[in-house]
Amino acid sequence: MRLLLSLLLLSSYYKRLSFYNSKLILQATYINRLLLKENIKMKKNYFSELEKLLDNSSAPYSGFSVASIVVCKDGREFKGVNVESAAYPTTICAERNAIFTAVAEGIAKGDIESVHIAARNAEGLLVTAHPCGSCRQVIAEQSMNDCVVYSYQSAQDYTENAIATLLPFAFLGEEL
C-alpha cells in the first residue's frame, strides 16, 4: 500500500513538474516575443560571410567549427572563430573571440546590437548552434543585456533570440 501511495505521489509530482516545465517554456517563448516586440528586422543576412569564416576555425579535436560576427550599433563588425587547444580549458569560442576583438578595438558596453553564429559539425554539415553558457554571459554583459542572437543553419533557416531570453537572470556586474 505504501509503495502504491508513493508511486501515486511521485506520479503527481512529475505531472506537476512537467506542467511547470511546459509553462516555463511557454513563458520563455512569450518573453522572447516581447523582447523582440519592436519587430527588429535583421539589417543584413550574414550567412554567406559566416560560411566562409567557418574555414578559418581551428577545431582539430572536436571537428565542430563555429564562426561568429558581432555587429555594433554604429555598424562596425567584428569576426571570430573557435580555436581549440590540447589544453581544453584554454579553448576559445567564436562568439567570445569576436567580442573580445571588439573590446580590444574600443567598443563600449552596450554597443553590441547583434551576434550572428554559424556552425559545421565533424561530418561537414551545417547545424544550428546557440552560444554556450560562458558566451551567453559575455554577450549579456557586453551588450548590457540588449541584443539579438541569430543562429544560422542556412541563409533562410535561422533562429533569432533576445540574449535576455537565452540567459535569464544574467549577472551583469551591477551586483558587485
Residues labelled catalytic: 95
Rounded Cα distance, 119 and 124, in Å: 9
Rounded Cα distance, 142 and 131, in Å: 14
Q: Is 19 exposed, middle or buried (0-12, 13-18, 19+ CB in 10 A)?
A: exposed
Rounded Cα distance, 42 and 13, in Å: 43
Q: At what angle do helices 94-104 and 133-142 cross, to 10 degrees?
A: 30
